[in-house]
Amino acid sequence: MSSNKPQVVGWIGLGSMGLAMAQNVQIFLQRDMKSQLRFWNRTASRGAPLESLGGIGCESIAQLVTECDLIFISTSDDAALNAIIDQILAVKDIDGKLFVDTTTVHPSTTRDTNEKLKKLNASFVAAPVFGATPAAESGTVLMAMAGPSQAIDQIARFGKGDIARDVMIVSDQPEKATLLKALGNFLVAGTMEIVGEAQVLAEKSDLGTDMLEKLLELNFGGLMHSSSRRMTQGVYLPEEGQAPWSNLNLGIKDVQHGISCAENVGARLKVAEVALDNMIRARDFSDAHGGRPLDSSSGYGVIRQDSGLDFVNTFVKERDARKEGDYSR
């Protein structure tokens, strides 16, 4: 891609995270480059907020790739990414184009994607982000980039300050960024498991969840405190009609990737295995209650059940008191 001509930027995938990040990119493009983001999503109506900001919808992935030099991808999982890449590879000419994938996928998927694109003389950077939807909306996620240094230089202006609060340059091998993301997801899942167990003990022993939460805030850092708030303030079980911060099914996928990465090198993530079991059981709870969407922190509800408490804590019961349905068991 020539650095002497203006970049035409595209975005594929407008889930909760993708839409939030794409909106920030469009605001940046409109403000600093006087250009407009092209976008595509399987459900076209998801692009309405981008259109209101001046973005331009494309009818197909092929159209977007043909028109753009730099293409961001944000989708749900490995299968979805592979399907998008297949459509990209079907485009007649992608020589010199740069693709940036923000999706959380297995490192082997990232490696395969890079190899496929390189064969057609396209560049690829893996750029997964750390953080839930609210952080994506505010541009305060952390982004990890890995790929050729020249390609990373070309997209640096879209990272810190627009999509993310900061950017970590990991490696020239794209799969190292998604490996780091897998480790990050393990740390988050493990933290939620530990905090969930501690909160249940605090509640059952009459110490009180507020007192433990204050300790977490003052002495154990933002991750533990925010994990606790997701539980005590009902984020783990969103209100009817509200999307979770971080979808439980995607959280299960993320933890499975971490366990797989460990197995591939002869290691084991035992805490992840415990967290995964609780998350799968939380999914069973969701299935038993009409498929009510749950947050990835909802293993907390299972920890409560295993200790003789209701899946639903007092905060959620009071919040949902006027809503139909009994979710106590």
The CATH number that applies at residue 289 is: 1.10.1040.10
Q: Which pLDDT does position 92 carry in this prediction?
A: 87
pLDDT, residue 190, reads: 97
Q: Does one domain contain both 66 and 186?
A: no
Looking at residue 7, its pLDDT comes to 82
Is residue 1 assigned to a domain? Answer: no
The domain of 250 spans 180-323
pTM equals 0.91
Q: Give the gyration radius of the chain's Cα atoms.
A: 21
Q: Please indicate, yes or no, if residue 4 is contained in any of the structural domains.
A: no
CB 84 within 8 A of CB 10: no
Ramachandran class of 310: left when φ > 0, alpha when ψ lies in -120 to 50, beta otherwise: beta
Model pLDDT, residue 297: 97
Residues 120 and 166 in one domain: yes
Residue 328 within a domain:
no
* Local structure of 27: helix, strand or coil: helix
d(CA 112, CA 91): 18
97 is catalytic: no
Concatenate the DSSP letters of all residues of 52-72 into one string: HTT-EE-SSHHHHHHH-SEEE
CA distances from 193 to 14, 65, 69, 190 (A): 30, 42, 43, 5
Please check whether residues 168 and 213 belong to one and the same domain.
no
Q: Are residues 159 and 188 located together in one domain of the fold?
A: no
Residue 3 counted as domain residue: no
| Number of domains within the chain | 2
Q: Is residue 18 included in any domain, yes or no?
A: yes
Q: Do residues 108 and 18 share a domain?
A: yes
Which of 139, 172, 205 lies at the terminal end of a domain, its last residue? 172
CATH for 52: 3.40.50.720
Query: Are 157 and 219 contained in the same domain?
Result: no
Which of 149, 172, 195 terminates a domain? The answer is: 172
Domain shared by 149 and 207, yes or no: no
Whether residue 199 sits in one domain with residue 160: no
Same domain, 131 and 185: no
Whether residue 238 sits in one domain with residue 319? yes
Question: What pLDDT score was predicted for residue 159?
Answer: 87
> Which of 204, 212, 246, 205 is closest to 229 using CA atoms?
212
Instruction: Determine the pLDDT at residue 201.
Output: 98
**Of the candidates 172, 190, 211, which is a domain's last residue?**
172
If asked whether residues 144 and 212 sit together in one domain, one would say no
**Structure-block tokens of residue 319:** 């919040």
Beta bridge partners of 124: 99
Q: What is the pLDDT of residue 2?
A: 41
The letter for the amino acid at 271 is V
Indicate which residue of 34, 160, 176, 181 is catalytic: 181
Q: Which of 308, 311, 329, 131 is nearest to 236 (CA)?
A: 311
Burial of 18 (C-beta count, 10 Å sphere; 0-12/13-18/19+)? buried
Spatial separation of the C-alpha atoms in residues 11 and 141, rounded to whole Å: 18
User: Would you give per-residue pLDDT tens digits along the chain (329 residues)?
Assistant: 444 456 899 999 999 999 999 999 999 999 987 899 999 999 999 999 999 999 999 999 999 999 999 999 999 999 999 999 999 999 989 999 999 999 999 999 999 999 999 999 999 999 999 998 999 999 999 999 999 999 999 998 888 888 999 999 999 999 999 999 999 999 999 999 999 999 999 999 999 999 999 999 999 999 999 999 999 999 999 998 898 999 999 999 999 999 999 999 999 999 999 999 999 999 999 999 999 999 999 999 999 999 999 999 999 999 998 675 555 54
Residues 195 and 278 in one domain: yes
| Distance, CA of 269 to CA of 275 (rounded, Å) | 10
Pairwise CA distance, residues 61 & 44, whole Å: 12
User: What integer pLDDT is reported at residue 324 of this predicted model?
Assistant: 59
Q: Which conformational region is residue 291 in: left (phi greater than 0), alpha (psi within -120 to 50 degrees), or beta?
A: left
What pLDDT sits at residue 251?
96
- Has residue 126 been placed in a domain? yes
